[in-house]
Structure 1
Amino acid sequence: MISLDSLMGNQGPSYPEQIAAPYRKELVDAGFEQMMTVEDVEKVLAGNPGKTILVVLNSVCGCSARVSRPGALLSFFNHVVPDIKATLFAGMEKEAVVHFREKYLNGVTPSSPNVLLLKDGNVLLHLQRHQIETTDAGTIADALIAAYNEHCTKQTTDAEREELRTYFKNLYQVDPLATQE
């Protein structure tokens, strides 16, 4: 079958890697596993039966920088979190993203960013771009935390949360756990 992308010469990345690299790093440095190939997608999503998996379909857009990535990171201050956190990048790993969308988001209009909680290939929570771009990181974190509390069992430690706090402060120049006076 001939795809529209192949006819238009859209098989390669949409952005130079140096543009995507800092956005990748933001999640990878926080422990997200990158899914760069179709095989990676299947290894993570099909190869972990019974595990809850947070997937961030990353993007270079402003709502990803302002809302989805920070919101996903904030959600890991909860005491219960997914077993695995993974990411892939829209516009970059096109085959992996197409496979992910066709197998796990069949029938959903493609957009990015997306944040999902999955278990055994089933979507437990799906936050799409239209939901992400109209809110803030705290609201995304709250939605994820509610889903974690319902579906996840992995406990985080004080040390893990403190490490994340240090990472968050260095990355965003704000203390996510500081109380407002």
Structure 2
Amino acid sequence: MTMNFNLFMNDVVRQARDEISAAGYTQLKTPEEVEQAFAQKGTTLVMINSVCGCAGGIARPAAAHALHYDKRPDHLVTVFAGQDKEATEKARSFFTGYPPSSPSFALLKDGEICTMLERHDIEGHEPMAVIQKLQNAFDKYCEEL
């Protein structure tokens, strides 16, 4: 039974990774990759991915569809909570003033946290509402393409 569950979870994790990568996000799997990505100039949207239902049903679709907009971040990255633990911990160290939350989105500018959509901003909301929240942040902090 445990082996079947592990195979199932590996499949769920792979699907979640593939989905966010297909949307254009770069996966950060090590603390060093996080540091390098967050050191980039400009705006960086970080999607803290997870295997929960609200990640698959709301957050990842919103992460993909929010990008169809006049303003969007310069860089798109993701860390996977519960999978790439050290990378996620390193990313969260940049989110000063926000408790750990997954799924969630952080918007950074020149490596500094600008705003965050936490799990409570995602769970129980329609994907369109989350897309609107992301695009409102893009309006405030990102340049027009």
2:96–2:113 CA contact under 8 A, matched in 1:
no
Q: Which residue of 2 aligns with 1:44?
A: 37
Deviation of 1:122 after TM superposition, in Å, equals 1.8
Q: Which residue of 1 aligns with 2:99?
A: 109
Q: CA RMSD in A?
A: 1.5
Deviation of 1:154 after TM superposition, in Å, equals 4.6
Indicate yes or no: 2:59 matched with 1:65.
no
1:71–1:136 CA contact under 8 A, matched in 2:
no
SS in 1 for 2:35: helix
Unaligned segments of structure 2, at least 5 residues: 1-7
Q: Return the alpha-carbon distance in structure 2 between the equivalents of residues 82 and 66 of structure 1.
A: 22
Q: Which residue of 2 aligns with 1:29?
A: 22
Q: Which residue of 2 aligns with 1:11?
A: none
The structure 1 residue matched to 2:13, chosen from 20, 24, 30, is 20
Deviation of 1:107 after TM superposition, in Å, equals 4.5
Identity of aligned residues (%): 36
Q: 2:112 is matched by which residue type in structure 1?
A: N
For normalisation by structure 2, the TM-score amounts to: 0.88
1:57–1:114 CA contact under 8 A, matched in 2:
yes
2:79–2:91 CA contact under 8 A, matched in 1:
no
Q: Which residue of 2 aligns with 1:3?
A: none
**Greater Rg over alpha carbons, structure:** 1
The structure 2 residue matched to 1:75, chosen from 56, 66, 83, is 66
SS in 1 for 2:13: helix
Q: 2:120 is matched by which residue type in structure 1?
A: H
SS in 2 for 1:88: strand
For normalisation by structure 1, the TM-score amounts to: 0.72
Q: Which residue of 2 aligns with 1:12?
A: none
Q: 1:36 is matched by which residue type in structure 2?
A: K
Q: Which residue of 2 aligns with 1:133?
A: 123
Q: Which residue of 1 aligns with 2:5?
A: none
1:117–1:125 CA contact under 8 A, matched in 2:
yes
Q: Return the alpha-carbon distance in structure 1 between the equivalents of residues 24 and 67 of structure 2.
A: 11
Q: Which residue of 1 aligns with 2:133?
A: 143
Deviation of 1:69 after TM superposition, in Å, equals 0.8
Q: 1:120 is matched by which residue type in structure 2?
A: D
- For residues 103-154 of structure 1, the C-alpha deviation after alignment (integer angstroms, 9 at most, x for no partner) is 2124432221011111122222201111210211111111111111221115
- For residues 29-79 of structure 1, the C-alpha deviation after alignment (integer angstroms, 9 at most, x for no partner) is 121111000011011111x12x10111000000111111111111111111
SS in 1 for 2:88: helix
Q: Return the alpha-carbon distance in structure 1 between the equivalents of residues 9 and 54 of structure 2.
A: 20
1:83–1:154 CA contact under 8 A, matched in 2:
no
Tell me the matched-pair count. 138
Q: Return the alpha-carbon distance in structure 1 between the equivalents of residues 132 and 13 of structure 2.
A: 27
Q: Return the alpha-carbon distance in structure 2 between the equivalents of residues 21 and 154 of structure 1.
A: 33
